[in-house]
Amino acid sequence: MKMNLVFLFVILLLSHIALADPLEITIEYENCTEVWSCSEWSSCSGGTQTRTCTDLNNCNTTLYKPEISQSCTSGTPTGSDGPSGSGGSSTLGTSGSGGTKSGNKTITQPNTYAPPEPELKESDFLEMEMTSPEKAEAGEPISVVISMKSTKAVETTVEILREKQDVNLQVNEPKTLYFIVYTPEIEGNYNLVAVTPYATANKTILLTYKPLFLYVTPTGNQEYEIHIKNFDSTSTTELQIVKDGMQTVYLDLLKGKLDYKVNITFSNSGEYNVKAKSVSGFSVLDEDTRIFDVKGNQAINYGLLILIFVLIIILIGSILIFKELRR
């Protein structure tokens, strides 16, 4: 009886190990060099002067942050690496490998992307029509359909917001192209234009404001670039990556206005949800989710192999014990 309980305990333990298939992600590290810009020292108060220092490269590290307080007497500091008293601000950079830190992300200030509107063209042989939503959130992906027909054979390229497709048109043969494009990160009416060297098609769509933008771009075999822009300086951005709707494999929290990128290689196949959320206080300002499937070889589940091996040993042992008891 005791032996059976021991076997049962071992089976349950190994089953837990087998089911807990570990998830692995590999992050491509990028270098970030701290460059600190410091304000002027405050006046001497209580034997202390203070100043504020900001990393212009937003490395999210403080390995080489200058001193922000120092002792002083009558407005004259006892030591300084920058201007003192009524002096101006200073910028302090680092040089060589000593000032470079490996990090799993790059963070800069975001710039609004508003591409110039292409010149509209008409052709006497090429007809183009565009179908798209009337309204969309700024910076979000939308579906665009381009219908084309030509009275002469032509090979050309159609481009919409940096997305391109090649097309081979035969005489009077209709063609339909399907695009998924990201709208500009602006608010208000925007003239969406599909461009070829011969003719254009356009449609005005209304873009509504949103502070948060999330992009997920495949960069290789099981490799993805996660890109977030948050234009609200008072909020906190949360990035969470969840596998198969159950296991969180990556989590990052960042404060303030930012343009954030991280390159991740997923070792395990499965469905991944990338969730970005912008929160200010108790209010959710904006949130986005992207879902994608990672294809590839499933990771070896060593726990399951161990479980099978132990079960075989237990089975052989039970047969031997049973035979011994029958004697």
Amino acid 28: pLDDT: 43
For the record, the structure tokens of 292 come out as 């994608």
For the segment 150-162, what is each residue's pLDDT rounded down to a tens digit? 999 999 999 999 8
Task: Give the CATH architecture of domain 126-208.
Answer: Sandwich (2.60)
Which amino acid, one-letter code, is at 200? T
Residue numbers of the chain with a pLDDT score lower than 50: 1-2, 5, 16-30, 75, 79-89, 92-103
Task: Give the CATH architecture of domain 211-294.
Answer: Sandwich (2.60)
Spell out the alpha helix ranges (H) of the chain. Answer: 2-19, 302-326
For the record, the structure tokens of 157 come out as 């390229």
Q: Judge whether 294 and 269 are in contact, CB under 8 Å.
A: yes
Amino acid 76: pLDDT: 54
Neighbours of 232 (CB within 10 A): 18
Residue 327 CB-density burial (10 A; 0-12 exposed, 13-18 middle, 19+ buried): exposed
The strand pair at 48-50 and 53-55 is best described as unpaired
CA distances from 288 to 217, 240, 275, 303 (A): 15, 11, 6, 35
The sheet with strand 76-77 has its strands ordered as 48-50, 69-73, 76-77
Amino acid 61: pLDDT: 66
Q: How far apart are CA 82 and CA 76, in angstroms?
A: 13
Q: How far apart are CA 7 and CA 2, in angstroms?
A: 9
Q: How far apart are CA 151 and CA 269, in angstroms?
A: 48
pTM (global) more than 0.85: no
The residues, any chain, with a CB within 8 Å of residue 35's CB and separated by 6 or more, are 55, 56, 57, 91, 92, 93, 94
- Whether 126-208 and 211-294 share one fold: the answer is yes
Domain ranges for the chain: 2-21+301-326, 30-104, 126-208, 211-294
Task: Tell me the residue length of the chain.
Answer: 327
